[in-house]
Chains A and B, each alone.
Chain A
Amino acid sequence: MPNSDTSFVHVVGSVNTSDGTGQFLFVTPSKSVPSQNASGAMPPDAQSDIELIIEDAAGSLLARIPLSILRASDHDSSPDALIDEMVPAQDGMARLKLVHKGSEIAKYEAGSEPIQPPAGLALGMAPPGSANKRPMSLDAEVNPEPGVTYSIQVLTEGERLWQTIALGLEVPDVTLDRNQFPDSETALVRIVRTNGFTESVVAEDTVELKD
């Protein structure tokens, strides 16, 4: 079920309009619709070779959305393209399908809801020769799960906005480079788990960035 404070699901995928292949790249919940994300709203009667099908867990059709094809500006006549769509979150949505000319080319199954309680952050030692970089992960064991990804967000002291330093991770392991946050001696770091349609903070802690 979508979170009550998430209104959309951001779906990004790649397609090859020549050989009809494709994949989902990022499926994440979003609280807002960034304007001019190039997808735009397709006209109601628009025809497109690419469609997004939204189903519930039982396979019932919830929505069928024609998708805009997004090309690379400087790659003339390439068959590679993106789809980039903000989809209104729907109750019961559990599955996405990418369809090209009527054939399914990719499928995304929402991952499980988190069942373990929030964990802590584990900050490892800097590797030799890279004193500014420290590996970071959850202090609980995490195995990759289908449909589940993690993002890492950082809020440095004095700032009010969380920066996203990693997303789409199968496991929440990242190297924290403190030189990305000069002028900060500490930072709040949080790990956000998403099953594509909902998300939750599974760890949040203050990390020391000074020597």
Chain B
Amino acid sequence: MAQKTCGMRAPSERKPERTAYQRAIKRRPSKPKFAAGIAPGPGVAIRGMEVAQTVQSLGNDVRLIAMKTTVVRVYIDPAGFADGTYVTGELTWRRGTAGKFYLPAMNRVRMRPNNDPGLEGQRDDLDLSLNFRLPESAVRTGRIEIALNLLRVPGGDEIPFTPSAPSSHTFEAAPPLRVRAVGLRYDSVKNLPSTITPNSIHFEYLRSYLTRAYPVASVEFSQIVVDGVGLNPPTSTNAFPQNTSLIVNAQLSAMRTSELSNGFDPRIHYYGLVDDEGGDSFMRGSAVYNETTEIFGMVSCGPTGVPNGWVGDTDGSYADWYGAHEIGHTFQRRHPGFPQGRQDADPLEGGFPYPNGQISNGPPRYVGFDIGDPALGLPMRALPGESHHDVMTYASHQWLSRYTYHAILDRLIHEDHALAPLTN
């Protein structure tokens, strides 16, 4: 018998101390309840799968760029699930007849059979698709096969589903986008004494948007700030004189010639940014256009500032879509004429296929995809085709339609060869 000491129990006789942790002991998560009500037979139906980079259709007819961030979106029919069941999954991908890689989903999807938005509703909401981010090794140039491998309740049982044949997708090589962003300083006349310079946020938004939205895997982006030549801000209005963007483009052209003479790559598109001084000094942007040869030049410019909801933009800068529009001109893109009454259609733009400047018509119906940018607080999201408009319009919520995306890609490929620096 253990000797007692001063009324204390011997160690072997002491009851274990109860701590809050022990009181709440649950060393393993509960086994999740299997989704009751799963229909027997062949199992869950898969409504579709699309491989998204910037914009895509269910038929996957938008060209895929090698090494560009890519997400496979899988749409599951919620019929037969108990309402609120979470589903995740795994897909496989492979090249040729090689072995398969297994890839888990980025997310889980909540099945709402009583509130089914349908396939197109699922496409419009990233939370309603099962999303798989392909690794770099999967998006190299060439062909891959993708197949949904399994569905399961997260941490629980597998869910039978109706399998379909693997789908094949080709990733094509694309040149980088080469942009030199030139911020142009000017002396304020309304807020003396101050020099107005575009802040870094505008350069970053522009670079990010071009990387996410343009048909490229990478953007070779350089930037500099210089004094604007002939930039005379307005004194009594809030807009620079109408010809100001021409004067800026003249400076950019001279600067480009100087730098090309010193070895800069002729494939670089120059874009000038002029801060709008909080809305007090707005310069309308433009690219230069040769009416005789019907060719746009390699320089363009635009204003920048905080959008405050302008054309639906509520983030930190409108330099992104505005710059993408003007740079789009330098890739020979023209105005399609939307919104009617606000933008005249370029008579040489006869091919824009979507109503109201949207990025989609139907069928097939296109949905935009924005991979987002965590560094700028921009979430990954789906962009419904009817509420988003092509970047070459003057409409709201601008993104790239398949039409503009493919045209810029073809032009990039052309320029990569046609304007390549001469080598001795």
The yes or no verdict on A and B being binding partners is: yes
**Interface bin, chain B:** 35 or more
On whether the beta carbons of B255 and A36 are closer than 8 Å, the reply is: no
Interface presence of B191 (CB below 8 A): no
Interface set, chain B 275-318, CB cutoff 8 A to A: 284-293, 295-300
Partner of B243, one of A14, A38, A151, A162: A14
Interface set, chain B 235-291, CB cutoff 8 A to A: 242-243, 245-247, 249-251, 253-264, 266, 284-291
Q: CA A30 – CA B243 in complex, angstroms?
A: 26
A74/B285 contact (C-beta < 8 A), A68-B293, A69-B291, A164-B258 known: yes
On whether the beta carbons of B296 and A73 are closer than 8 Å, the reply is: yes
Q: Which of A56-64, A77-85, A137-145 contacts B (4 or more CB under 8 A)?
A: A77-85
Main secondary structure, interface of B, reads: mixed
CB of A76 to closest CB in B, whole Å: 6
Interface presence of A28 (CB below 8 A): yes
Q: CA A115 – CA B415 in complex, angstroms?
A: 43
CB of B295 to closest CB in A, whole Å: 6
CB of A170 to closest CB in B, whole Å: 11
**Interface bin, chain A:** 35 or more
Provide the residues of chain A in CB contact with B297, threshold 8 Å. 36-39, 70, 84
Partner of B289, one of A13, A30, A73: A73
Interface presence of B73 (CB below 8 A): no
Partner of A36, one of B262, B344, B419: B419
On whether the beta carbons of B329 and A161 are closer than 8 Å, the reply is: no
Provide the residues of chain A in CB contact with B266, threshold 8 Å. 32, 34-35
Interface presence of B227 (CB below 8 A): yes
Main secondary structure, interface of A, reads: strand
Q: CA A168 – CA B230 in complex, angstroms?
A: 10
Q: CA A13 – CA B246 in complex, angstroms?
A: 10
On whether the beta carbons of B263 and A160 are closer than 8 Å, the reply is: yes
Interface presence of A42 (CB below 8 A): yes
Nearest first, the 7 closest Cβ-Cβ pairs linking A and B are A38-B297, A72-B286, A80-B243, A40-B293, A26-B254, A164-B258, A162-B262
A-contacting residues of B (Cβ < 8 Å)?
224-227, 229-230, 242-243, 245-247, 249-251, 253-264, 266, 284-293, 295-300, 326, 329, 335, 344, 415, 418-419
**A–B Cβ pairs within 8 angstroms, 27 of them:** A14-B250, A25-B247, A28-B257, A34-B256, A34-B257, A35-B419, A38-B298, A38-B299, A39-B290, A40-B293, A42-B292, A72-B288, A73-B289, A73-B300, A73-B326, A74-B245, A74-B335, A82-B249, A84-B250, A84-B288, A86-B257, A153-B258, A163-B259, A165-B226, A167-B258, A168-B229, A168-B251
